[in-house]
Amino acid sequence: MRANGIFLSGRAFSARNIAKAARVWYNRNMRKTSVKGAAALLLALVMTLAAFGCGDGVTGRTYNITGYFGTTVTFAVYRAADAESEALAVRDEIESMLAEVSAAADAQTEGSDVARFNAAGAGERVELSLTGYVLFSLAMEMYEQTGGLYDPSVGLSVDLWGFTPRFTLPDYAPERAYDRESANVPPADEYVEAFRGLIGFGDVILYEENGKYYAVKPDRTATVAGDDTVYTMNVDLGGIAKGYAADRAAEIAESHGLTESYVSVGRSSLALGDNRESAEGAPREHMWAVSVAHPRTDGATWLRVYAARECVSTSGDYERAYIYDGKRYCHVIDPRTGRPVDSGVASVTLLGRTAAEADALTTALVVMGREAATEYVNARLTDARVAICEDADGLTMYTNMPETDYDLVASDVALGSRAEDGKIIVL
């Protein structure tokens, strides 16, 4: 990754200025790739490769990469039969990039920037890698852009509610004071309230000094009666980091001319290159057909969108969720309450922006609820295409997409809007 032109040096800057500097770099180096030659699919999207055309000597090759983000990363390329060496070179570059991003942002990776930040005491300064600094800065930008509804400082609350990887292990056993015998049981209210007081990513201080990058942890702690642990802010950059990795992977593939390719990071992120036949303004049969997982029926889809050379992302209350006493609890934490989101929005899909941005935006729109999300889309996201699935006395879709851009494929989802000038017009 190029380091030139990212940040001013020699003095500390406000989080706002740091975020702006990160945005300048990201727009220059990544957004052009995502719009021109990539799409990213986050969470449980199902991809259909429509009209890809593998004839005329074009073959498909798939390469699996393990050891990153707790899942299998897949790189697939569609090229002439003699292009295998180039595809292997891209695969190797992607793996090197994944190692770099994991070392910065994966909380489960020992010694990562995020792991060291989370382990630091209140008020401590943590040195970051350049990649970590860019990711923290991007997260700050999206925190500000969404009014704090995308807030990666919910990391401790995510763990409290049982949604970190340790709870998925077959030999899971309680190890922390707040753990329950079963992860699929809500925690004690005193911990919910204590950890809520640690949320607030805007209080993290980011700065560069003498060519080194730093994050200062807020000077806040939380304690609970009967528990002698002193808790501090924990961040979770997993979502935005996977989106960032998808953008980087697309850039790598495009730099080698392999635009007819994709990279999937498990069920969390997928970066698509061009459909072989796609072009600006192309009809459906020459675009990617992307089906979105149904939020209430396993194995089904509810929406199919058509895209070429743009980012697609989705978030919802159905991926990593459990039902307890008739109530659904999901991994998306409302930073205002410290509890799983209860907004009535089951799924949000967004086309446009970079993958890193899109992950944060879809998360925030789920937190907002349908009415506030609609207002936000109409005021700030008319350059993107958005579909919101609300679960309120039945499933209803609200979208600013023209009818030519999607198919509503689920019979149990009603249409509650029409599109007009990039806005959602409620029927």
User: At 54, which CATH number?
Assistant: 3.10.520.10
- Quote the domain boundaries for residue 349: 27-98+239-426
Residues 6+ apart with CB under 8 A from 417: 397, 398, 399, 400, 424, 425, 426, 427
Domain membership of residue 61 (yes or no) is: yes
Domain membership of residue 349 (yes or no) is: yes
Is the sign of the CA dihedral 333, 338, 344, 350 positive or negative? negative
3-class SS of residue 321: strand
Domain membership of residue 231 (yes or no) is: no
Q: Are strands 205-209 and 222-224 parallel, antiparallel or unpaired?
A: unpaired
Domain membership of residue 230 (yes or no) is: no
Domain membership of residue 108 (yes or no) is: no
Specify the pLDDT at position 49: 39
The three-point CA angle 106-111-117 to 5° equals 75
pTM of the model: 0.87
Confirm if 145 and 138 have CB atoms less than 8 A apart: no
Question: From CA 235, how far away is CA 159, in angstroms rounded?
Answer: 11
Domain membership of residue 247 (yes or no) is: yes
Specify the pLDDT at position 287: 73
Q: What is the pLDDT of residues 168-216, one digit of tens each?
A: 888 999 999 999 999 899 999 999 999 999 999 999 999 999 999 999 9
What residues of the chain score a pLDDT lower than 70?
A: 1-59, 79-83, 265-282, 286
Q: Which of 202, 117, 210, 208 is nearest to 156 (CA)?
A: 117
The Cβ-side half-sphere exposure at 271, using a 13 Å CA radius, reads: 33
Domain membership of residue 173 (yes or no) is: no
How many separate domains does the chain show?
Answer: 1
Specify the pLDDT at position 50: 35
Specify the pLDDT at position 10: 26
**Residue 419, strand partner residues:** 424
Specify the pLDDT at position 30: 52
Specify the pLDDT at position 39: 35
The three-point CA angle 352-356-361 to 5° equals 65
Report in angstroms the alpha-carbon separations of 350 from 27, 111, 305, 426.
Answer: 18, 33, 10, 18
Domain membership of residue 125 (yes or no) is: no
**Residue 297, strand partner residues:** none
Q: What is the pLDDT of residues 91-147, one digit of tens each?
A: 999 999 999 999 999 998 999 999 999 999 999 999 999 999 999 999 999 999 999
Q: What is the pLDDT of residues 13-34, one digit of tens each?
A: 334 444 444 544 455 555 443 3
Report in angstroms the alpha-carbon separations of 422 from 18, 284, 383, 385.
Answer: 30, 20, 7, 7
